Structure 1
């Protein structure tokens, strides 16, 4: 089943500051809902273990993530695939970060996912509402990180063409 998502999130930081949070694997690990672990394999590749629940289905995914395009501080694209017992997904996502007139920033994002297995059997409506909630939680947690003044260091960049998923 193919699913499309999009949205915006306002962040109380300028683009350059927000960019550091979006490209710091340690911050991403703290903000990603259900993240049990996240490790940077290189400056463009991450491995993560994510546990996601939709109703009674609660798979734990081993996820490989590759940053496919990075244009500081405006554009970030990634591809990911995840496998769990009787479930799998492949996704691509893009985030454009723009400066708002008041000096804050707005993240405009889109994602496309191909979901298979038990999760797909739950249907697009169930998956869509859970995904929107998880994305909202991610951006809320990222904003909390920014507001707390937690340090963030930009450590991710685009992969070479031969490294992409």
Structure 2
């Protein structure tokens, strides 16, 4: 599954970069995220509970940041295991571009799923992934705006 997109965020690039690297903000914005802990400057562990179609699973995983070029870009990659529900692994290249007082966040993501989730069919998995991404960006934009107004 491949997914690319662009989101306009009404905040300066430095603020967006800071939020993208703040586990507390990310935990509030990632749909189903139950825990997100930084274990090193470039590694995090996460537990995420998701329901895709008829399959519900709690995924335990690791996330790594690489190719870090603050505050412009990085690569995020991760892998999660959800028991009999299956696994998910993938990564995304994220680029932040300044546009006046706003930031354009561009992403290019690739993911693989296996197990029961993969048996649901790519259409359902792809549409679920797009909905989860939309929810993340809506919550992320809201979190940045709340941060700026605090």
Task: Give the TM-score taking structure 2 as reference length.
Answer: 0.94
SS in 1 for 2:62: strand
Question: Which whole-Å CA distance do the structure 2 matches of 1:42 and 1:89 have between them?
Answer: 22
Deviation at 1:149, TM superposition (A): 1.9
User: Corresponding residue for 2:34?
Assistant: 36
Q: Is 1:92 paired with 2:105?
A: no
Question: Which whole-Å CA distance do the structure 1 matches of 2:75 and 2:139 have between them?
Answer: 20
The size of the alignment, in residue pairs, is 148
SS in 2 for 1:13: coil
Render the CA deviation track for 1:127-151: whole Å, top value 9, x for unaligned.
1111011011111111111111269
User: Corresponding residue for 1:7?
Assistant: 5
Show the 5 A alignment for 1:1-165.
3-86=1-84, 87-100=86-99, 102-149=100-147
Misfit runs of 4+, over 6 Å: none
Task: Give the TM-score taking structure 1 as reference length.
Answer: 0.86
* Higher RCO (CA < 8 A, seq sep 6+): 1
Unaligned segments of structure 1, at least 5 residues: 152-165
- CA RMSD, aligned part only? 1.3
Q: Counting strand residues as a fraction of each chain, which structure ranks higher?
A: 2
